[in-house]
Amino acid sequence: MKLICELTDKIILGQEGRSSKPPRLTARAIVQNRDGHYAVMYSDKFKLHSLPGGGVEDGEDVLSALCREVLEETGCTCDQIRELGIIRENRGCQDYTQESYYYVVYTEHCTDAPALTDAEKASNTTVQWYTFDDMWRLIRNVQHDTVQRMYLQARDVAALKEFAENHMK
């Protein structure tokens, strides 16, 4: 899978810093439903819009994690999957690294019952569906004040930019 970008403290915070920790692996998706709308996860507690996805569990491959995360967070199945690319994060200030494997998912089958984690429920996280332009605006046009949210935003913006430039039908 192609590398979309690497995000570092220099890019996000304007300061030097590198971590040598092994990366946490995640699977993330730009999910489009049959109506042409895109899934956006919204955490009311953190006022954060983001793309669906999460960690790859022990003994799980990335595609299995992708399908599990999309189903858990959106209530939708992954009916068609295309590779988008990898985004690497090296957060020296948090001594943390992550590799996010991004995919484009088309779904025909959604229920009204995502199976959110306790942490997602506690942060009042919901799945919402938007046009691409609205999704782009909601994720990109916010000024975040924590390192964590700055990295999350930059990661999703890079994936959406790659999608818009090279993968939109």
How many domains does the chain fold into? 1
Q: Average pLDDT, whole number, for the chain?
A: 93
- Print the SS3 string covering 86-106: EEEEEEHHHCEEEEEEEEEEE
Model confidence at 169: pLDDT above 60? no
Q: 54: domain range? A: 3-166
What distance in Å separates the CA atoms of residue 46 and residue 160, rounded to the nearest whole number? Answer: 21
List the CATH number of the domain containing 103: 3.90.79.10
pTM comes to 0.93
44-103 residue pLDDT tens: 888 899 999 999 999 999 999 999 999 999 999 999 999 999 999 999 999 999 999 999
User: What residues form DSSP beta bridges with 162?
Assistant: none
Helix (H) or strand (E) segment spanning residue 10: helix 9-13
Q: What pLDDT sits at residue 166?
A: 86
What is the distance in angstroms between the CA of the first residue and the CA of the last residue of the chain? Answer: 20
